[in-house]
Amino acid sequence: MKQSQLFGKTLKTVPKDEVSRNAELLIRGGFIDKLMAGAYSHLPLGYRVLNKIKNIIREEMNGIGGQELFMPALQPKALWEETGRWNDPGKAVMFQFKGREDKEYGLGWTHEEVIVDIARKRVSSYKDLPFALYQIQDKFRDEPRAKSGLLRGREFNMKDMYSFHATEEDLLNFYEKSKIAYLNVFKRCGLDALVVEASGGSFSKEFSHEFQAMTPFGEDIIFYCPKRDFAQNKEIAQVKAGDKCPICGEKILEGKAIEVGNIFKLYAKYSASMKLQFTDADGKKKDVIMGCYGIGPSRVMGAIVEVSNDQNGIIWPTDVAPYKIHLITIGDSAAVIEAGEKLYNHLLKKGEEVLFDDRAISPGVKFADSDLIGIPTRLIISEKTLTQESVEFKRRGEAKNELKPLKELYA
Ligand code: ATP
Ligand code: MG
């Protein structure tokens, strides 16, 4: 992509009410646009990042047997009355409204009701189980505080998966597999996430498991063992800072973190109220056993920016970067322009993802934009590098740079 053609210029300022670092850098860098508190557009650069995160999640969910589908966000009141969640005061996050003929609807803030409705029309025997379905879709929640940029949206992107089993044992098996898949997702996104015990929330009395990315800007407080064999969210904690880790005896630490994922064992909570049953091998009718597994790709994007930036801008981990190479020409001599075009076309032919800053502007602005946008590898062509038949090579976030012979790049 030529930067002269890229929609979404970098900006010097951000909206006045924007306080979070992720929103500041993402807005200034031309990744997102703020429509209102809790609702952001992903501009071309930002949409590339979001899609990379979504694709990593897809690969990992497919890897444990998840099948992707897509459900409506627009949902009828009657369905939510089956589980008693239409009038649940704790769930004041649901946007509810009337349509034609006074019919009532809600916007999906989670999708248990819809997925169980799909499953109950199709599951009858133990032979139909197990399976796991997921979607990547926008969720709507009337969040009281939407001041943290992509970390807390009122419309935000979520991957939600639901698993269906004949036995608890089978659920537990899949649940452990999902933990590994989740850790893979966060690692590939460049996030160091801890598995943290948390309340089952409205879903169950047992612990659920959160995946928490440690950062001083997180909203959650967690107690964790530095050896990572134990961690609990402060909201339910049975330990405190300074206590001994119940697993290894190491001193428990306290830290702030961003919840990037959350998995729950639902057991028969929704299958019982919505009559999702199957006939087992012994001929008896039983409730289907379920689990649910959420990750917010847009929150993950915000979390990456929160943990990976410096005073000049974002530092994208390679696998989620909008482009892998930032090619920059310095100076407007014919030789520089020609060498830039030639290398750009060569890299494109090789299938590289390149952003080419071909703009006729000052080097200072180009470097500042490049730092702000945060592409991992920078290649600079100038009169000076050309006299040595080289390009300057620099990694974002590292001070050192080196000359690489053009020959090497063309080899
Ligand atoms: P929180 O406690 O932060 O409000 P939650 O526990 O309600 O989140 P879940 O219902 O478990 O969240 O949603 C699954 C995932 O969706 C979360 O782990 C997070 O990554 C993402 N998510 C939840 N709420 C938001 C939001 N308002 N904006 C962006 N992402 C969100
Ligand atoms: Mg949660």
Structural domain spans, the chain: 3-219+258-310, 323-410
Token pair of 45, please? 């650069």
Summarize pLDDT for 311-358 with one digit per residue, the tens. Answer: 999 999 999 999 999 999 999 999 999 999 999 999 999 999 999 999
Nearest CA to ligand 1 atom 2: 259
The closest residue, in CA terms, to atom 14 on ligand 1 is: 294
Q: What is the tens place of the pLDDT at every residue in 234-245?
A: 999 999 999 999
Res 91: pLDDT: 64
Output phi, psi for 166, to 5 deg. Answer: -85, -30
Is the CB of residue 220 below 6 angstroms from any atom belonging to ligand 1? no
CA of 317 to the centre of ligand 1 (A): 23
The CATH architecture of the domain made up of 323-410 is 3-Layer(aba) Sandwich (3.40)
Atom of ligand 1 nearest to the CA of 259: 18
Determine which of 58-62, 88-92, 101-105, 212-216 has the lowest per-residue pLDDT on average.
88-92
Could you tell me the distance, in angstroms and rounded to a whole number, from the CA of residue 235 to the centre of ligand 2? 11
The two three-digit tokens of residue 278, written as one number: 């199957």
Would the CB of 106 count as within 6 Å of ligand 1?
A: no
d(CA 171, ligand 1 centre) in Å: 22
Q: Is the CB of 287 under 6 A from ligand 1?
A: no
Each residue of 270-286: pLDDT tens digit? Answer: 999 999 999 999 999 99
Is the minimum distance from the CB of 143 to ligand 1 under 6 angstroms?
Answer: yes
pLDDT of residue 88: 82
- pLDDT, tens only, 17-29: 899 999 999 999 9
> Relative to the CA of 300, which ligand 1 atom is closest?
20
Residue with structure tokens 């076309």? 345
Closest CA to 118 of 69, 64, 175: 69
- CA of residue 141 to ligand 2 center, whole Å: 13
The pLDDT value recorded for residue 142 is 95
* pLDDT, position 348: 98
* Neighbouring C-alpha atoms within 13 Å toward the C-beta of 115: 24
Q: Which residues pair with 106 in a beta bridge?
A: 75, 96
Residue having the nearest C-alpha atom to atom 19 of ligand 1? 296
Closest ligand to residue 160's CA? 1
Q: What is the whole-number distance in angstroms between the Cα of residue 364 and the centre of ligand 2?
A: 43
| Ligand 1 pocket, residue 295 CB under 6 Å | yes
Evaluate: CB of 148 within 6 angstroms of ligand 1. no
The β-bridge relationship of strands 285-287 and 401-405 is unpaired
* pLDDT recorded at residue 15: 85
Between the CA of residue 199 and those of 220, 233, 236, what are the distances in Å?
A: 13, 8, 6
Q: Which atom of ligand 1 is nearest to the CA of 109?
A: 10
Question: From the CA of 313, how far away is ligand 1's center (Å)?
Answer: 26
219 backbone dihedrals φ, ψ, rounded to 5°: -90, -20
> What separation in Å is there between the alpha carbon of 307 and the centre of ligand 2?
20
Contact 382, 333 (CB under 8 A): no
The phi, psi pair for 29, rounded to 5°, reads -80, -5
The amino acid occupying position 175 is: Y
One of 3.90.79.10, 3.40.50.10320, 3.30.930.10, 3.30.365.10 is the CATH number of 3-219+258-310, namely: 3.30.930.10
Whether 111 is in the pocket of ligand 1, judged by its Cβ within 6 Å, is no
Q: For atom 1 of ligand 1, which residue has the closest CA?
A: 259
Tell how far the Cα of 71 is from the centroid of ligand 1, in angstroms. Answer: 18
